[in-house]
Amino acid sequence: VLIVLPVVLLCFGVPIFVALIAAASIGIVAMGIGTMDPVHVALFGGLDNFPLLAVPLFIFAGEVMGRGGIARRLVEWALSIIGGVRGSLALATVASSELFGSMSGSSVGCVAAIGRLMVPELTRRGYTSVFSGSTTRAQ
């Protein structure tokens, strides 16, 4: 049951996760356990994870810091340190991402705050959108 049923379901075009869940459920019933509690615990037990809750809160913190002006001040400070070097805006993006990421402790919050500020500025100054996004995420 555990080998033949997934192969048959996959041949009919059923998604992989549905085929595996169906095979495991039928296998549990066929073995005589009689209860489906292990399946429910395996499916919904993974949702009880605190880092999953922290990601939206870090994004919110990044937005608050970006709207409050912390991100713009970090970028201006990084630009004043780097100076008139060729590509200084890209270097300032990386430097301010490093600083903001170390302050907030989250790369997701950093991308939300610095990216919202720097990606439009980089594209306005002639950088491609791929380069702008990659530079912002490269912390």
The CA-atom distances, in angstroms, between 112 and each of 8, 16, 99, 118 are 44, 33, 14, 10
76/70 Cα distance (integer angstroms): 10
Q: What is the average pLDDT across 29-41?
A: 73
CB 132 within 8 Å of CB 118: yes
Residue holding tokens 């019933």?
A: 29
**Residue 2, helix vs strand vs coil:** coil
55/107 Cα distance (integer angstroms): 10
What average pLDDT is seen over the chain? Answer: 81
Q: What is the average pLDDT across 3-23?
A: 90
Amino acid identity of residue 78, one-letter, is A
Q: What is the pLDDT of residue 60?
A: 82
Task: Indicate the pLDDT class of residue 86, thresholds 50, 70 and 90.
Answer: confident
The CA-atom distances, in angstroms, between 60 and each of 64, 71, 83, 106, 110 are 6, 14, 31, 11, 11
